Amino acid sequence: MKIFKSVFLASFCLSILNSQQVPPCLAIASETDINNALKVWPKIEKGKSLKINSLIGYQYQTMDNKLNSFYFTDKTSWWKNLNDDPWSEYPLFGDDFVPPELNFPENVDDNLRWMCGYSYIVDIPKDYDSNKEYPLIVFLHGGIDGNQSKLKYRAGLRKSFYMSDDNQYILIVPFKLGFDWDPKKIIDIIEDVKSNLSVDVSRIHLTGLSMGGRGSFIVASEYPNVFASIMPLSPHHTPYNYLSLKGKVKNIPILISHGDIDQVSSFDIAKEMYEALKFIDAEVTFKIRSGIGHTGWESFYSDKENINWLLSWKKE
């Protein structure tokens, strides 16, 4: 797989160079080592949200280069609308939105921005104390396109997450531009957060919905020793399903939730994943949301039972 990726990326980058087009990120990210931040974080304040663009200057060998090339290269990608640009500072959207100053050189092809690291939002606990370690929840959104209203919805979902006063946590929400979630980009974000905030490394948790539900399986399968628990919601099943990843995630506590009348993501495949994990003695729970389609995530995340389950696990 890595040989295929390297050959593909090499030929792809050669074609870009031949056409004198480059992505808006030139620092080549390591596939194995930590890629340290290229930018300094904004000032950290209790209870505030930060927009972090410290890793967007890295170019990654993403696992879905072929799909991204097909969908975004030589096309007018949604992020090229300056009023929808996800590389802005905080706030990301709304009346106070300020488009970023990109100032790309002439040879930059912004349709290739999917090759770059993720920008993301960080919510700081209201009682944050740098002398205390906090659990970290990574939330992966769904979908592959965007605009102001979709970005607002994706980011706004984090506001529904239940948080008790006596078990506060750091919440991070990356924004992907490519087709699928890339594990190395997520790991570098986690390392970036650990370098700037006080994180309990034994309590790093992962959740996501739809494409982010499948993304939870994908990311956790590549880094199973990082996450104390994962909670995929309505995991999407195309262009490939996630059943083959069961052996890689079997040692992580997993809660899968799916609406039984979902017409977008396959309920049957989610159930099959649950049964396959159960068969190999994984710690797995399947919560069926009866009469629910491809929706209902706000009520799920606002339920303290679900968030408390996610936070209850700790890596030994």
CA gap 43, 259 in Å, rounded:
40
pLDDT, one tens digit per residue, over 120-139 is 999 999 999 999 999 999 99
| ∠ CA 132-48-189, rounded to 5° | 70
Tokens of 80: 């090229």
pTM of the model: 0.92
The kind and range of the H/E element at 140 are strand 134-140
| DSSP annotation of 116 | B
**pLDDT average, residue stretch 102-124:** 94
Share of the chain above pLDDT 70, in %: 93
Of 9-13, 113-117, 212-216, the range with the lowest mean pLDDT is: 9-13
Least confident among 95-99, 259-263, 291-295: 95-99
**Residue 239 within a domain:** yes
Q: How confident is residue 95, by pLDDT bands cut at 50, 70 and 90?
A: confident
Residue with more model confidence, 79 or 56: 56
- Whether the per-residue pLDDT at 92 is higher than 60: the answer is yes
What does the pLDDT average to over 284-309?
A: 97
Residues 6+ positions from 258 with CB-CB distance below 8 Å: 233, 234, 235, 265, 267, 270, 271, 286, 287, 288, 289
Closest to 104 (Cα-Cα) out of 17, 218, 21: 21
The verdict on residue 316 lying in a domain is no
Instruction: Find out whether the peptide bond into 99 is cis, omega within 30 degrees of 0.
Output: no
CA dist., res. 198 & res. 296, Å (int): 32
Q: Are 227 and 199 in contact (CB under 8 A)?
A: no
Place of tokens 């770059």: 116
Average pLDDT over all residues of the chain: 90
Give a yes or no: residue 183 inside a domain: yes
Q: Count how many domains the chain has.
A: 1
Residue 12 has pLDDT above 60, yes or no: no
For the segment 22-49, the average pLDDT, to the nearest whole number, is 95
Q: pLDDT tens digits, residue range 187-220?
A: 999 999 999 999 999 999 999 999 999 999 999 9
Q: What is the pLDDT of residue 19?
A: 53
Q: What is the CATH number of the domain that holds 183?
A: 3.40.50.1820
* Separation between Cα atoms, residue 227 and residue 256, nearest integer Å: 15
Range of the domain at 93: 2-16+23-311
Residue 107 belongs to some domain of the structure: yes
| CB-CB contact of 227 with 256 (8 Å) | no
Does some domain include residue 135? yes
Give CA separation, 240 vs 67, 88, 151, 244, in Å. 12, 32, 25, 10
pLDDT reading at 2 higher than 70? no
| Interval 18-42 mean pLDDT | 90
For residue 82, the model assigns a pLDDT of 78
For residue 77, tell me if it sits in a domain.
yes
Q: Examine the pLDDT at 237 and tell me if it is beyond 80.
A: yes
